[in-house]
Amino acid sequence: MTTRLVLASASPFRKALLENAGLSFDVEPAHIDERAVEAPLGDLNPEDVATILAEAKAQEVSERKPGAIVIGSDQTLSLDGTIHHKPANMDEARRRILALSGKTHELNSAIVLAKDGETIWRHMSVARMTMRDLDPAFVGRHLSNVGDRALFSVGAYQFEGEGIQLFERIEGDYFTIIGLPLLPLLAKLRELGAIDG
């Protein structure tokens, strides 16, 4: 295969998903201000916000990497229609988990492929995540165990680690939850001839 793939993300989780799938790719994080991109969007739905952010990342990197297919991705967490971002500190992480306790929230994971500054494909997957009713003391102990890793995700949990203990039920696939819907991405890359298939 001669098409170069570039992941426009600094996420170690997204990188690991692609590596585990056997893909050969470069990592080139996008240089965009996500909140500045999001600010003029008004009250768009959380799926559209994730797609617009993924597209901004893919296009920005693809302009710097001519000829490459760039994979941009973004994930929003929505609860009752309100979008939440990564917690800024441990106190905010605690408040986030307690706000999600006993409720169902959505993780909206977008992927956009871009080449030479142009979008060539968009995809959105949604996972519905139901947390069990959590005791505040347990939440404090949980956050003490996981430490700053709680600040790496919009939900203040690592589903692939101890965060699994927070949940009662999920509807959706693992890759969507981690933030990179892998099966549709691989299918599109095969269709484009970018990977063997």
pTM of the model: 0.91
Structure tokens at 20: 């585990």
Amino acid 85: pLDDT: 85
Amino acid 48: pLDDT: 94
Residues 53-111: pLDDT tens digits? 999 999 999 999 999 999 999 999 999 888 988 899 999 999 999 999 999 999 999 99
Amino acid 173: pLDDT: 94
CB 131 within 8 A of CB 138: no
Rounded Cα–Cα distance for residues 27 and 72 (Å): 11
Amino acid 165: pLDDT: 95
Structure tokens at 176: 């969507």
Query: Could you state, in order of their start, the residue ranges of all structural domains in the chain?
Result: 5-191
Rounded Cα–Cα distance for residues 138 and 143 (Å): 9
Residues of the chain above pLDDT 70, percent: 99
Amino acid 197: pLDDT: 85
Amino acid 15: pLDDT: 95
Please state which architecture CATH assigns to domain 5-191: Alpha-Beta Complex (3.90)
Residue partners of 144: CB distance under 8 A and separation at least 6: none
Tally of CB atoms within 10 A around 56: 22
Task: Verify whether residue 116 is a known catalytic residue.
Answer: no
Residue partners of 93: CB distance under 8 A and separation at least 6: 87, 143, 150, 151, 156
Amino acid 1: pLDDT: 47
Amino acid 2: pLDDT: 63
Please pick, among 74, 116, 133, 135, the residue that the annotation labels catalytic: 74
Residues 161-191: pLDDT tens digits? 899 999 999 999 999 999 999 999 999 999 9
